[in-house]
Amino acid sequence: VGLFFQEQPVLKNPFLEDALLRGYLKRHLPQEAILSDLNTFGERVAKDIDTWGRECELNPPRLVHFDPWGRRVDHIVTSVAWKRLKDLSAQEGLVAIGYDKSFGEWRRVYQMSKLYIFSPSSGLYTCPLAMTDGAAKVIQSVGVSPPVEEAYRCLTSRQPERFWTSGQWMTERQGGSDVGSGTETVAVPQADGSYRLHGYKWFTSATDADMTLTLARVQDRSGSTTPGSRGLSLFYAEVSRFEDGRLRGIEVQRLKDKLGTRQMPTAELLLDGLPAHRLSEEGRGVASIANMLTITRIHNSVSAAAAMRRVLQLARDYATRRTAFGKLLKDHPLHMQTLARMEVETRAAFLLVMDVCRLLGREESGLASQLDLHLLRLLTPVVKLYTGKQAVAVVSEGLESFGGQGYIEDTGMPGILRDAQVLSIWEGTTNVLSLDVLRCVARSSGMVLHAYFAHVKSLLAGASGVSSLDPAVKAVGSALSELEQFVQIAASRSPSYLELAA
């Protein structure tokens, strides 16, 4: 009795294990140095980094409000592993690669491939990295000059002692989707041209960041503000402390008790005179922070595809170790059909995500055509909403493929499911992103859809081993033509017809 012990699934080098990723990179950027870096990093992920990620889950952050002598300190205590992951992120260039011009138009595919390998083992350090990347992008778009010149260097640094992370404080109690109506935070102008922020930020993740970008309404001399989206401006603020240890202009009210993402702190913050600098023109806050949203939504999609891939890699390995009804799971056709379905979803997600990363890299290296720009605008919300939903479905299916063990906490599987659940909520819920798709269709007079049709047609025409006579290819082709005609008619009528077409 009790002599049998099941072999556990083994995490192997996620780069070597991923034939689709390797095939994609070999086709598109066959630079030996990059492939070798990803291979070495994949080895580290499997050997060390995964354990650090697990440590973050086991030692979640906690808030210390007061020092032993009663002074308010609001110290968010994080684990040793969380701090190590910050240093590692700098050394491995997990943000920096995206800003390294030497990688040309492939900088984003390289960076996101690395994050894709890292993400499921990262203890959710990918969250601050996403916001850090988004902040660097916003700074780039408004101009890398004082007061944010040094911040930009720190956000994109490979030196751990210099590397900064950023927060993204948008959500308030009244509105996370509708920040235009929901934001109450006010910015009080100071004599030196800076501002002091007063308000309450309801969700702020990775709150141990060095700086943040946030939205607020500038107060005029009479103390009044402009309501709605047009009253919002974008602000930059550093998170710093007074000599006595108190946070400057911030009180951390509490840490959220969350379903998942427990590895990282998410706090409610009272802004009580936080010193800040305005980065956008007055009233252009939402449009200016949209650059950050594009980047963080792409990161979100990378994490979603990565979660699916991780569960699948482990499930495939387990299928070679677990026996039921006299044979290994891998020899049960029905079990393999389940894994094959997961594989199809995962591949679709991966290819869509990588295509968007490719487009982003083209845009940032000045090589994007008008068609590329339209596609990037259209596909960013699409890939975020699609992969966010798929991740929950695929990861949930994945847990079942381990039987009861998939439900057991210290296998690490439940954490993957919990963390997947947030991917469709933060950075824009599914329905809000659907509306973003309609917004960009209407504002481009349907051009984003035409770009999409042209893209799919060129993919079909260029696909090797696929005949244009293939009934499936023919069916897709004629469906596209029909849709295209519909969009043309709609575009000639009005934006509301276009939304219908979309």
Among positions 294-353, residues that touch ligand MFK (CB under 6 A) are 294, 296, 299-300, 303
Q: Of 293 and 360, which has the nearer Cβ to ligand MFK?
A: 293
Beta bridge partners of residue 269, listed in sequence order: 201, 252
Q: What is the DSSP string of 186-239?
A: EEEE-TTS-EEEEEEEEEEESTT-SEEEEEEEEP-TTS----SGGGEEEEEEE-
Task: Give the amino acid at 463.
Answer: A
Question: Does 390 participate in binding ligand MFK (rule CB under 6 A)?
Answer: no
Q: Answer yes or no whether residue 425 interacts with ligand FAD by CB under 6 A.
A: yes
Q: Closest distance between ligand MFK and the C-beta of residue 286, in Å?
A: 4
Which of ligand FAD, ligand MFK, none has residue 233 at its interface (CB below 5 to 8 Å by kind)?
none
**Residues linked to residue 443 through DSSP beta bridges, in sequence order:** none
Of positions 199, 398, 428, 446, contacts ligand MFK by CB under 6 A: 428
Q: How far apart are the two ends of the chain, measured CA to CA in Å?
A: 62
**Between 195 and 203, CB nearer to ligand FAD:** 203
Buried b (16+ CB within 10 A) or exposed e, 200-220: bbbbbbbbbbbbbbbbbbbbe
Enumerate residues 455-484 that contact ligand FAD by CB under 6 A. none
Q: Are 460 and 386 in contact (CB under 8 A)?
A: no
Q: Is the Cβ of residue 25 or residue 94 nearer to ligand MFK in the bound state? A: 94
What share of residues in the chain are helix, strand, coil (percent, to 5)? 55, 15, 30
Minimum distance, C-beta of residue 201 to ligand FAD, in the bound complex (Å): 7
At CA 389, angle to CA 386 and CA 395, rounded to 5? 125
* CA gap 49, 114 in Å, rounded: 13
Cβ proximity of 117 and 303 under 8 Å: no
**Prior bond of 147 cis (ω within 30°):** yes
Q: How far is the CB of 440 from ligand MFK (least distance, A)?
A: 7
CA distances from 71 to 38, 170, 228, 282, 391 (A): 47, 29, 38, 37, 44
Rounded Cα–Cα distance for residues 28 and 46 (Å): 25
By CB under 6 A, is residue 360 in contact with ligand MFK? Answer: no
Instruction: Please check whether residue 112 is in contact with residue 355, taking contact to mean a CB–CB distance below 8 angstroms.
Output: no
Nearest to ligand MFK of 401, 424 (CB atom): 424
Please give the angle made by the CA atoms of 44, 49 and 50, to the nearest 5 degrees: 115
DSSP-derived letter for residue 172 is B
Q: Indicate the residue type of 163.
A: F
Least distance in angstroms from the C-beta of 123 to ligand MFK:
11
* Part in contact with ligand MFK (CB under 6 A); list of ranges 290-298, 393-401, 407-415, 460-468: 290-298
Phi, psi of 30 (to 5 degrees): -75, 55
Binding mask 207-246 for ligand MFK (x = CB under 6 A): ----------------------x-----------------
The nearest distance, CB 228 to ligand MFK, in angstroms, is 8
Give whichever of 39 and 177 is closer to ligand FAD, judged by the CB atom: 177
Binding partner of residue 180 among ligand MFK, ligand FAD, none, CB cut-off 5 to 8 Å per kind? ligand MFK
What is the Cα–Cα distance from 167 to 161, expressed in whole angstroms? Answer: 18
Interface with ligand MFK, residue 439, by CB under 6 A: yes
E strand or H helix that includes residue 275? strand 266-278
- Span 393-422, contacts to ligand FAD by CB under 6 A: 422
Binding test (CB under 6 A) with ligand MFK, winner from 13, 113, 171, 313:
171
Q: Is 228 in the site for ligand FAD (CB under 6 A)?
A: no
Q: Answer yes or no whether residue 438 interacts with ligand FAD by CB under 6 A.
A: no
Span of 4-12, 66-74, 200-208, 315-323 interacting with ligand FAD by CB under 6 A: 200-208
Please choose, out of 28-36, 165-173, 341-349, 382-390, the segment that lies near ligand MFK by the rule CB under 6 A.
Answer: 165-173
Nearer of residues 93 and 123 to ligand MFK, judged by Cβ: 123
Minimum gap (Å) between residue 180 Cβ and ligand MFK: 4
Under the binding rule (CB under 6 A), the answer on residue 131 touching ligand MFK is yes
Could you tell me the smallest distance in angstroms from the CB atom of residue 422 to ligand FAD?
5
Size of the site for ligand FAD (CB under 6 A): 22
Give the list of residues 6+ apart from residue 331 with CB closer than 8 angstroms, or none: none
Binding residues for ligand FAD, per CB under 6 A? Answer: 168-171, 175-178, 203-205, 258, 261, 266, 422, 425-426, 428-429, 431-432, 435
Binding residues for ligand MFK, per CB under 6 A? Answer: 126-127, 130-131, 168, 170-171, 176-177, 179-180, 205, 229, 286-287, 290, 293-294, 296, 299-300, 303, 426-428, 432, 436, 439
